[in-house]
Amino acid sequence: MSHRCLSHLEAVARAATVRNLVYALDVDLTTGDELFRSVTTVRFTADPGAETFLEARPERLLGATLNGVELPADAFAEGRLRLADLAADNTVVVTAEYAYTRTSEGVHRFTDPADKQVYVYAQPSITDAPRFMACFDQPDLKAPVTLSVTADPSWLVRANAEGVQATPGRWEFPATKPVATYLITFVAGPYVELTDSHDGIPLGLYARASYAEVLERDAPEIFSLTKAFLDRYHELFGLRYPFGKYDQAFVPEFGWGAMEFPGCVVFRDELLFRAAVTDTERLERAAVIAHEMAHMWFGDLVTMRWWDDLWLNESFATYMGYRLVAEVTPWPQSWTRFGVGRKAWGYVADQRPSTHPIAPTEVADTDAAFANFDGISYAKGCSALRQLVAFIGDEAFLAGLRAHFDKHAWGNATLADLLGALSQASGRDLDAWAQAWLRTPQVNTLRPVIEWAPDGSYASVTVEQTASQEYPTLRPHRIGLGWFGEDGAWQRTEVEVTGASTPVPQLSGVRGRGLLLNDGDFTFAKIRMDERARAELPSLLAEQPDSLARALWWNSAWDAVRDAEWPATELVELAAAALPAEPDVVIVESVFGLARYAATRMVPADRQEAARSALAGAAKTLLATAAPGSGHQLAAARSLIATAADADRAMLRGWLSGADVPAGLRVDAELRWAVLGRLAVLGDVTEEEIDGELQRDTSDRGEQEAVRVRACRPDPAAKERAFDLVVTEQGQSNRIAAAAGDGLWQPEHAELTAPFVARYFAELPRAQGRSGDMLAHLAKAAYPVYAVSEDTLAAAQAALAGEMHPLLRRALVDETDDLARSLRAQRAA
Ligand SMILES: [Zn+2]
């Protein structure tokens, strides 16, 4: 149903009206496959005579009373229930039927194709709590929630609080501590459970029955990480985990990576590894586990007042996530992954037309809040926090945090509150820092200007800082400078860059090579290298012992290509030469990814085949030398599959039938689908073969992969079907739509898919009951990313001239900006 999004002004007014709020929610999941029923009882005090409204978005409102009196029919409109003439003490009871979704919005209902078992979970997201209850849906109206759930008696139900099955099928959960509506959840179905405990905290892990074996296999690692992170947060924050038990549920088709529901964190179940993975994936999963746990303190215990501080929530949790992985797990290179993975996402987002300050001064409504779920809020904000820690020191940072938690526990706080606590702890005024870093958008470029002495030493080194014309802010950057000294050892000094030009006198007279700005990666800036370093880059990469420094060089090269300062072919050649000898699998995978992007979009069309072939050659070299069963071997195999050409078809066919498989390489379900997808792109897979594979793998992943592989076939009917699935059709799973979009566009199928480019911009995913967030998701999934041309740009501009949902527009603007960059890169080649 249509609804109005909540504005900041409305939220402020409502927070001033509603006091002493308490919810009781009674959910009945036994009323059929399409709809479920809930009764919400809302109690609060107010000034007599005041007026306010609740949000609710049911399919059918069955009844609504205020203080025992039925509300008039016209009180309910646009997803809002108007409450007029309030008493001092108020009780509202709303009984309604709500629709299950397949988009991970509200209550998601999933039938597992592997065994036909049904699973549901509640995802309130920013605006979807009213899809299962009546509530004041804003982060500063926190309240205790008492929950009851009626479900199939064979089901297990988990929620924020520790509950019991009081009678068969009837679950009762006592009142939670005060929580925001976006943090209320329940998970219900024939989930399997594994339990443990640590330091007095009960721990639970959950997955659907068809993942029981996978959960069993991964549980020791997940439990062990969970315990190590709990210990470390207790140490750092000086405040124990505040929500009783700590459950982690891995659920099907979750829309995000995970969500920090207090006491009951929910993860997408792709994070349980049913197939072989590399350390990159294990590291990233660990970072997600630590990220969600950080939110228990920052977000759940102390909650933002309004969505303008969403970034603070996410930046903080991202920072803590990678920090804890570096500190207490077997993957000390987590900042390398951040540097070459997440951070690149931040740079991209910050240079788009849609850029915004990390901390916007105003987020007018919930639509605007959704648009801020981007690389700026997560990655750039995380980098800014690293810079802040470098600026004030870790001790002051942690002391400020502890004071902040103490002061605002169970309540709400703002950026100003946190800055106040950090200023007090560090004795430094942070206003100017916050203004430069948090209140202004866009990224600075740092460039070394080197005068060379005749003997080959540095006569002088200056760090030059520039900003874009539209956003001319220069910022203070506390950075490391690294170089190879005469003895070949890597050296480092630190400097505080301010203004346009910062001399580094300590380097005068030093005989060094490979000068690297931002060594240690404490700041967020585009880093350029000097001409000599660029020329020597292959040997510098080979000699550099520190993976984080190598990541910074790769990022610098990637950035120069995106800015059309370096030809994309140079990056591809560099990657092809360096990756077979790269010791860190995190860099192997990340840089293969960047190089493939360059080879398929930024290299001019007539040279793309050669670029792909260079990458395939590098993958073959790595595959031949990697240790059997290693992450390097798997990364090489995946990269080879993605870039394989006609001549490699026999090899790929062999992998499917078990012939000539490299020793130690597990050709499991995921790898089989990857091979089939590539063979399909190359025109070598029939529908019957896909059906056969689907019989081997009857999981939902199998269903998604089958959709993707069908869409990969160079067949007009297959493309037509894929286009319908992602652009036109309603009601299918969000995963299926994304899979269709993924297969539809292939660099090799430019001619075949040309008609769909114009159709994409003419038709675009339509609303028809879809949320703005889902429209944006589909628009990205279906965007013609390989059709890099003036014509595509013109079609995009024409489409953008029309009316559309702001979140759909944002997605189109961003994708089109990437396309324009690719076009510029092609021209620079
Ligand atoms: Zn988060």
Q: What percent of the chain has pLDDT over 70?
A: 100
pLDDT range class, residue 734, cuts 50, 70, 90: confident
Ligand 1 centroid, distance to 139 Cα (angstroms):
15
DSSP string, 186-243: EEEES-EEEEEEETTEEEEEEE-GGGHHHHHHHHHHHHHHHHHHHHHHHHHHSS---S
Ligand 1 centroid, distance to 101 Cα (angstroms):
23
Token reading at 355: 């850029």
pLDDT at 622: 98
Ligand 1 centroid, distance to 372 Cα (angstroms):
13
Q: Do residues 528 and 393 lie in contact, with contact meaning Cβ atoms separated by under 8 Å?
A: no
- Among 85-89, 283-287, 776-780, the minimum mean pLDDT is found in 776-780
In the DSSP assignment, the letter for residue 244 is S
What are phi and psi for residue 89, nearest 5 degrees?
Answer: -115, 130
Question: Pick the residue with more confidence: 143 or 766?
Answer: 143
In the DSSP assignment, the letter for residue 457 is S
Token reading at 117: 């078992």
Ligand 1 centroid, distance to 298 Cα (angstroms):
10
Q: Do residues 799 and 764 lie in contact, with contact meaning Cβ atoms separated by under 8 Å?
A: yes
Q: Do residues 619 and 625 lie in contact, with contact meaning Cβ atoms separated by under 8 Å?
A: no
Annotated catalytic residue: which of 284, 292, 693, 705?
292
Q: Do residues 249 and 206 lie in contact, with contact meaning Cβ atoms separated by under 8 Å?
A: yes
Ligand 1 centroid, distance to 96 Cα (angstroms):
31
246-251, strands of its sheet edge to edge: 192-198, 201-207, 246-251, 264-268, 258-259
Q: Which residues pair with residue 80 across a beta bridge?
A: 55, 77
Ligand 1 centroid, distance to 313 Cα (angstroms):
7
pTM of the model as a whole:
0.96
3-state class (DSSP) for residue 430: coil
Cα torsion angle, 492, 498, 500, 506, sign? negative
Ligand 1 centroid, distance to 258 Cα (angstroms):
8
What are phi and psi for residue 413, nearest 5 degrees?
Answer: -150, 165
Cα distances from 558 to residues 13, 490, 575, 630, 768, in angstroms, run 47, 23, 11, 27, 40
Q: How far apart are CA 416 and CA 586, in angstroms?
A: 37
Q: Which residues pair with residue 26 across a beta bridge?
A: 39, 148
pLDDT at 745: 97
pLDDT at 361: 85
Question: Which H/E stretch holds residue 165?
Answer: strand 164-167
Average pLDDT over residues 727-738: 85
Ligand 1 centroid, distance to 612 Cα (angstroms):
36
3-state class (DSSP) for residue 466: strand
Nearest to 291 by CA among 257, 253, 254: 257
Average pLDDT over residues 502-528: 97
- Among 36-50, 340-354, 682-696, the minimum mean pLDDT is found in 340-354
Average pLDDT over residues 360-387: 89
Q: What percent of the chain has pLDDT over 90?
A: 93
Ligand 1 centroid, distance to 809 Cα (angstroms):
24
Average pLDDT over residues 678-689: 97
Mean of pLDDT over the chain: 96
Q: Can you tell me which residue has the tokens 């309603």?
A: 730
Total Cβ atoms within 10 A of residue 259? 23
Average pLDDT over residues 163-181: 97
Q: Which residues pair with residue 502 across a beta bridge?
A: 463
Give the model confidence (pLDDT) of 647-674 as tens digits.
Answer: 999 999 999 999 999 999 999 999 999 9
pLDDT range class, residue 1, cuts 50, 70, 90: low
pLDDT range class, residue 4, cuts 50, 70, 90: confident
Q: How far apart are CA 380 and CA 107, in angstroms?
A: 32
Q: What is the separation, in whole angstroms, between the first and last Cα of the chain? A: 50
Ligand 1 centroid, distance to 373 Cα (angstroms):
10
Nearest to 161 by CA among 247, 253, 276, 235: 247
pLDDT at 3: 83
Question: 518 pLDDT exceeds 70?
Answer: yes
Question: 201 pLDDT exceeds 90?
Answer: yes
Average pLDDT over residues 336-349: 92
Cα distances from 650 to residues 409, 430, 485, 656, in angstroms, run 62, 62, 49, 10
Q: Which residues pair with residue 165 across a beta bridge?
A: 171
Ligand 1 centroid, distance to 297 Cα (angstroms):
12
Q: Where are the beta strands (DSSP E) in 409-476?
A: 412-413, 445-452, 458-466
Ligand 1 centroid, distance to 248 Cα (angstroms):
15
Give the model confidence (pLDDT) of 590-642 as tens digits.
Answer: 999 999 999 999 999 999 999 999 999 999 999 999 999 999 999 999 999 99
Question: 789 pLDDT exceeds 90?
Answer: yes
Question: 283 pLDDT exceeds 80?
Answer: yes
DSSP string, 28-47: E--S-SSEEEEEEEEEEE--
97 labelled catalytic: no
Give the model confidence (pLDDT) of 407-463 as tens digits.
Answer: 999 999 999 999 999 999 999 999 999 999 999 999 999 999 999 999 999 999 999
